[in-house]
Chains A and B, each alone.
Chain A
């Protein structure tokens, strides 16, 4: 009994949960592949950090995209909105010499207003989100051109640059390493373990199914190692990047919003069965408006991080990023037909996209190969998802 217990349980867990980890396995495979073909450049601390930096603004926006898509909607305008909000804050700081705090506030409010605009047309006027946001894709691309007057604007403001390029300073001296990640990493692991233990205890108190203690501990050790590896990478490089802090905060909030708030649960209900949700007393239109408002704000945050990282706003800013953002959500398990999708999943999706992009750049592949390969990966990811759903009898 004892001997077969753990191994057979692990086998069971793996086979029954494999669909959840498909993308993590794919991610690891991608990393190993690039590590080999780039002769070991891919998994250096510096490059891993680059991948994280590349995924930040995509990840922030795709958190919003998950909710939009869970509600069976779509936002095609996010690339233009990222460019538009980015150019606004650049102009406010550079051309109007505005302090960074009001500039941030104004940009976020503009993002919010754009979201409300979308929500109004979708929820209250009954237009398909596809059309509304396609129109916005053009409108705000025009907006970018108007705001930048066709030129490239470099804010050159240190506080602003820190948002997309900065690192948290080292807490204390320890060789040439940045010590902050080492300390924060330990705090994160402790917090993670405490949350896991509490969840497990709660589930046990309700007599819900839990995994065996040994596999539970194995999982915690594994996750702790993964978490700490990330922080070690940062310690070896330049420390914790500020945009990663922003991404972490957004992910944490959106994770809780999607799972623990009435609003979040209503989003899933609407995507699963809009009419039943309405008959259960949920204000479907208002919820839809809120979804798009949130998407607008997250697009603005994404636009700020994006512009800060490049330290420039240009007319083509954000062009084409909507495909990366939508692809991240889909690769992360969000169903385009609504009802399912997770925040954590879409971050893994964003990591997959950023890893592909980065790896192909290291191999000096051109745009041609990059687009073809990213497109094929998206297609393949959805095909796998559809197949596993079919096999499990969900269509």
Chain B
């Protein structure tokens, strides 16, 4: 009989309005490296949060069996005591503490007099750092070491807790190739020492490189668990993508002709890691009446690309932007807006709206200066422009004096659109425009996009939802690790192909 270190049976987890995990079963053999893959939002992180006790026992249904015993973790401390260590995508280290303090945080080694025994802590830390092959002084502050080294410190921390099961969530997302290789080597060593590992990654190359077994999650369901050898990369991708294209993309195609926006040789240095580029020599153009889709996985650099075009991200940038054939310099969002570029950002609550102001205020947010005469805002004009957009975009609000926080996600998103549409625009950039929005509003937003390109706007849309990007775009650019790796036209694009290139395939 096979020895399973972990069995998760019939796990169902609901969030308000969303079924995040739907009767998922997941088993991990002792001593293997088990890869967990799936699209963004497939439920991987939620499943791991159930396992680690972030979602405490009782907030989900189903069983978690670890080392043959049913577990009921109330918090992370419980799961850690049982021997499970999880290393999150966003590292959880305090930048102001040194390496030794970080590793022993909450478990400080004390002397007989109940004071911290620094010498012993540094000695132990040195031993741990040796195990993860990190040659660095344990008194170094976390803020002074790179992401890759921080990752190793996290692993050393897990080792110090004698973890039997190590969970890594997208560990290589922020690492250079060399650092990634080092990490994979380390995991193989741990495996020889008998540590079991769950490895979550988007990078299928890595998955095939290191995993023994692969489980695919999709839409909160476990689709398949298979030995690596029995699952081809192509089959894996189709399991990940799965669903059929529904007819929810009412696209009317224009005939795009005039090039509005051209970006050439656009590169951005990584803010902290030397010789790593966030954006690596990207060139593209966008035409009037066209919707250009940018696909890619989280961390591929899509948001950084557009934020840098607007002058809102990156310090060491090189490259040129041309609008209508003329070279332009954009130093900040104000410049971008003057050139007629508008952004509907990924996180509308953080970057797009002032939630405790009303619809009218948010509609005028980018235009108060232009709406004013003799220094005073022309309220009447703002009101009529707002009313016009409320009707045109069908923003469902009792009044334009309603506060934004009282509106639904879809209506908030339409208000972000309204902010730009009262202006003369030539390029509209949409970053994950339908994230967290119900299906009805999604279709409404697609229809608005249709109308806008018909009026001659150029639209650039970033999306992680493959059906959306295929259903809406004229052209699709696929991004991987800061580069455009493939361009598709609307006629020859499939989800499998996009997934193939987005995960680093050639």
B112 CB-CB contact with A under 8 Å: no
Let me know if A276 and B372 touch, CB within 8 A. no
A260 CB-CB contact with B under 8 Å: yes
Let me know if A279 and B310 touch, CB within 8 A. yes
A340 closest partner in B (C-beta):
B356
Let me know if A279 and B372 touch, CB within 8 A. no
Let me know if A282 and B334 touch, CB within 8 A. yes
B377 partner residues in chain A, CB cutoff 8 A: 260-262, 265
Let me know if B354 and A273 touch, CB within 8 A. yes
Let me know if B387 and A262 touch, CB within 8 A. no
Alpha-carbon distance A283/B372, docked complex (angstroms): 16
B361 closest partner in A (C-beta):
A265
Beyond A208-B401, A281-B366, is A272–B355 a contact (Cβ under 8 Å)? Answer: yes
Beyond A278-B312, A281-B334, is A265–B368 a contact (Cβ under 8 Å)? Answer: yes
Alpha-carbon distance A339/B337, docked complex (angstroms): 24
B351 partner residues in chain A, CB cutoff 8 A: 275-276, 279
B440 CB-CB contact with A under 8 Å: no
Alpha-carbon distance A141/B253, docked complex (angstroms): 69
B31 CB-CB contact with A under 8 Å: no
B89 CB-CB contact with A under 8 Å: no
Q: Closest Cβ of chain A: how far from B18's Cβ, in Å? A: 21
Q: Closest Cβ of chain A: how far from B423's Cβ, in Å? A: 9
B336 CB-CB contact with A under 8 Å: yes
A273 partner residues in chain B, CB cutoff 8 A: 350, 353-355
A275 partner residues in chain B, CB cutoff 8 A: 350-351
Contact with A along B360-386 (1 / 0, CB 8 A): 010011101101100111011001000
B368 closest partner in A (C-beta):
A262
A165 CB-CB contact with B under 8 Å: no
> Among residues 299 to 350 in chain B, which have CB atoms less than 8 Å away from a CB atom of chain A?
310, 312, 332-334, 336-338, 343, 345, 350
Alpha-carbon distance A66/B405, docked complex (angstroms): 23
> Among residues 44 to 91 in chain A, which have CB atoms less than 8 Å away from a CB atom of chain B?
none
A256 CB-CB contact with B under 8 Å: yes
Alpha-carbon distance A371/B493, docked complex (angstroms): 73
Alpha-carbon distance A262/B371, docked complex (angstroms): 8
B357 CB-CB contact with A under 8 Å: yes
Alpha-carbon distance A202/B382, docked complex (angstroms): 13
Alpha-carbon distance A299/B257, docked complex (angstroms): 59
B419 CB-CB contact with A under 8 Å: yes
> Among residues 217 to 264 in chain A, which have CB atoms less than 8 Å away from a CB atom of chain B?
256, 260-262
A101 CB-CB contact with B under 8 Å: no
Contact with B along A16-44 (1 / 0, CB 8 A): 00000000000000000000000000000
A209 CB-CB contact with B under 8 Å: yes
Alpha-carbon distance A206/B401, docked complex (angstroms): 11
Q: How many residues of A contact B (CB 8 A)?
A: 26
Most B CB atoms within 10 A — which of A261, A266, A283?
A261
Let me know if A281 and B336 touch, CB within 8 A. yes
A153 CB-CB contact with B under 8 Å: no
Alpha-carbon distance A340/B365, docked complex (angstroms): 16
Q: Which of B312, B368, B387, B405 contacts A279 (CB 8 A)?
A: B312
A213 CB-CB contact with B under 8 Å: no
Let me know if B357 and A279 touch, CB within 8 A. no
A268 CB-CB contact with B under 8 Å: yes
B226 CB-CB contact with A under 8 Å: no
A270 closest partner in B (C-beta):
B354
Alpha-carbon distance A277/B351, docked complex (angstroms): 8
Q: Which of B332, B354, B399, B405 contacts A276 (CB 8 A)?
A: B354
Contact with B along A268-306 (1 / 0, CB 8 A): 110011011111111100000000000000000000000
B171 CB-CB contact with A under 8 Å: no
A1 partner residues in chain B, CB cutoff 8 A: none
B220 CB-CB contact with A under 8 Å: no
Let me know if B376 and A268 touch, CB within 8 A. no
Alpha-carbon distance A277/B368, docked complex (angstroms): 11
Q: Closest Cβ of chain A: how far from B432's Cβ, in Å? A: 15
> Among residues 197 to 222 in chain A, which have CB atoms less than 8 Å away from a CB atom of chain B?
202, 206, 208-209
B148 CB-CB contact with A under 8 Å: no
A residues with CB within 8 A of B: 202, 206, 208-209, 256, 260-262, 265-266, 268-269, 272-273, 275-283, 339-340, 394
**15 A-B pairs with C-beta separation under 8 A:** A209-B399, A209-B401, A261-B376, A262-B372, A262-B377, A269-B354, A269-B361, A272-B357, A273-B355, A276-B351, A276-B365, A279-B343, A280-B419, A283-B332, A283-B334
Other than A261-B377, A275-B351, give 7 A-B pairs with Cβ distance below 8 A: A206-B383, A262-B375, A268-B357, A269-B361, A269-B365, A279-B310, A283-B334
